[in-house]
Amino acid sequence: MHIRDLTIKKFNEGLTNKEFTALEMTKEIFDHIENKEPEIGAFISLNKEEAFLQAEKADIKIAKDEPVELLAGVPLAIKDNMLIDGLPATAGSKMLENYKASYDATVIKKLKAADAVFLGKTNMDEFAMGSSTETSAFKLTRNPHDLERVPGGSSGGSAASVAANMAVAGLGSDTGGSIRQPAGFCGVVGLKPTYGAVSRHGLIAMASSLDQIGTFTKTAEDAAILFKTIAGRDKFDATSAPEADKYGDELLAPKLEDIKGLTVGLPEEYFIDGIEPPVAKAVERAIEHIKSLGIKFKKIKLPHTKYALSCYYIIMPAEVSSNLARFDGIRYGDVSAVDKKLKSLSELYKENRSHGFGAEVKRRVILGTFVLSSGYYDAYYAKAQKARALIKKDFDEAFKDVDVILTPTSPTTAFKFGEKMNDPLSMYLSDIFTIPANMAGLPAISIPVKGSEGLPVGFQLIGKHWREADILGIGQYYERLHY
C-alpha cells in the first residue's frame, strides 16, 4: 500500500492482515519525510530511533497474534506544545529551544498505551499564537497544495504533515481555530472536541478557558478513532469532565437513520459578503451534497457572532499573560544569548523574556496585562466575559431548534506568506468563524469540501456539547458519498 492511501483504518487492516509491518511503514514514511521536509518544513524535531522501537513493539504483538488497538503502529505527528518524556517541546519558541520534557502529557500516555508511533514534533506559531505558523521562531511551514502559501495556524506543521502524507494522522491544539483553520487550508479533517473532553495535562497552556487538544486526520472516520483514544476524564486536568468517559460506539459506527434524523442550522451571520466567492461556492456545494443524505437544513440566527472576535482578543490575551508568566528562563532550559551574570533576578527575567519571546507573544502578553490592569478590568475583561455569556446563550437557543450548525471554516482559502504578518488585526480576522465554538466550549470539525477546484476549502460543523458523534457522523456519511 502506498503511504498516500494510508488512513488509520487502512493501516490497521493492512497491519493485522500482515500485508506490511509497522516498522516497514514507519521506515517508508521517514524516507518520504526526508524527501519532503526541505520543501514543507512541517517538523521541528524528528524522533526516528524511538519511532522504530515503538513500531517494533506493535509488530511483536501482531506476530504473537495478540489483540492490538486500532492505533497500534500508526505513525503520528505531534504538535510541539505537547510533552513527550525526554523529547524537546519548544512550542515554537526560543524560550523553550533547549527544553526537554520531564513527563508524558496525558494524551501521549494514552497513545503510548495504544502502541502508536511518534514520528516527531511539528512546527507551530509561537506558543500557538498565530493563524499561519509564521510566528514560529524556527522555520516556515509551507502549504502542500501551494508552496507560496501558508498552511494556516497555529497547528500548521501537523496539518501540513498529514496533507503531505508525512504522517498518517496528527495531534494539534485549538484555542480559537488552531486545528480547524489549518485543516481547512490544507485539505484535511480537523476536530476540536468539546471543552473538557480531552485532558490538557502536559499541553503547554495558552488560554486555559479555551484550549482543547484535537486531531488531524485524512477522514472523519479516522478522527473518530483518534479522538476516542485520547478522550477521557483525567484527575490532572480539573476541567476534564465525567462526560468524557461516556463516549460510545456511535462515534466509530454511526447509524444512517440517526444521521438522517439530524437537523442542520445555517446561521445567517456566517454567510456574509466578506467570504471569498470560491469559498462560498464550495460550501454551497457541500450543503447540497449533505442534503442528498436526507438531512434537513434550517436557517438560524446567532446574533452576537459579530462580538466574538473582540471578546476573544480580550479573554485570550488575559489568560496568555497569566499562563506565560511561568516562562522566566530559569526553569525550562537555557535561553540562548542571555548573560547569566546579571545583577538581579528581575533583570534576568526581563532579559530572558525579551530574548525568548517573539513579537506576537509580547504583543499579547502586554495586551493581556492591559485588559486585566486596575482601571481597565471592568471596561475590557469583565465586559468580554459577559459578552462571552451572550455568545454561549446564542448557541444554547439555536440548539433547541437544530442538532448541528454548518458554516465555512474560514472566510478565505490559504493566503500568501507575509500577507498578514504586519497587520495583526487582519490576521486575527481569519479566525472569525472558528472562535465562537471555543467561546462556548462546543465540539467543531473542519471537513474538506469534496471535488473543489484550486485551493482546499473546509466547511465547519459545530455540535452540541458532548455530541461529537453528530458532527463526526455527518462527516463519515459525507465522505462516503461519491462525488
Partner 1 sequence: MADINKKSLEHLADLARLKLETGEEEKFLKDLGNILDHFKELQELNTDEIQPMTGGTSLKSVMRGDEIFEEDHYIDADKIRDQFPEHQAGHLKVPPVFE
* Interface residue with partner 1, options 353, 420, 464, 467 (CB under 8 A): 353
Mark residues 309-328: x for contact with partner 1 by CB under 8 A, - for none: xxx-xx------x------x
Residues 276-305, interacting with partner 1 (CB under 8 A): 304
Residue 389 is a binding residue for partner 1 (CB under 8 A): yes
Q: Which of 9, 61, 79, 218 is catalytic?
A: 79
One-letter amino acid of 257 = E
Whole-number Å distance between alpha carbons of 111 and 117: 8
Among 39, 379, 401, 481, binds partner 1 (CB under 8 A): 379
Residue 334 as a binder of partner 1 (CB under 8 A): the answer is yes
Q: Pick the closer one to partner 1 by CB: 126 or 221.
A: 126
Residues 183-202 that bind partner 1 (CB under 8 A): 195-196
Active site residue 340: no
Compute the CA torsion angle 336, 339, 341, 344 (nearest 10 deg).
Answer: -100
Contact residue for partner 1 among 40, 259, 384, 414 (CB under 8 A): 384
43 CB-near residues (< 8 Å, 6+ apart): 33, 37, 77, 119, 120, 121, 122, 123, 157, 161, 166
The smaller minimum CB distance to partner 1, of residues 43 and 327, is found at 327
Residues 123-182 that bind partner 1 (CB under 8 A): none
Shortest Cβ 236–partner 1 spacing (Å): 7
* Inter-residue contact 201 to 463 (CB < 8 Å): no
Question: Which residues contact residue 395 at a Cβ distance below 8 angstroms, ignoring those fewer than 6 apart?
Answer: 302, 405, 436, 440, 442, 462
- In Å, how far from its chain's centre is CA 421? 21
Question: How many CB atoms within 10 Å of residue 262?
Answer: 20
The active-site residue, picked from 93, 132, 154, 155, is 154
Residues 85-124 interacting with partner 1 (rule: CB under 8 A): 98-100, 102-103
Whether 192 is a known active-site residue: answer no
- Which of 167, 387, 444, 445 binds partner 1 (CB under 8 A)? It is 387
- Distance CA(420)–CA(216), nearest Å, equals 25
Does 399 bind partner 1 (CB under 8 A)? Our answer is no
**131 tagged catalytic:** no
Residue among 263 and 373 whose Cβ is closer to partner 1: 373
Other beta carbons within 10 angstroms of residue 308's beta carbon come to: 27
Identity at 28, one-letter amino acid code: E
Query: E-strand spans in 68-127?
Result: 75-79, 117-122
- Residues 223-242: x/- map of binding to partner 1 (CB under 8 A)? ------------xx-xx-x-
Shortest spacing between CB 427 and partner 1, in angstroms? 11
For position 272 contacting partner 1 by CB under 8 A, the verdict is no
Rounded distance, CA 26 to CA 57, Å? 12
Active site residues: 79, 154, 178
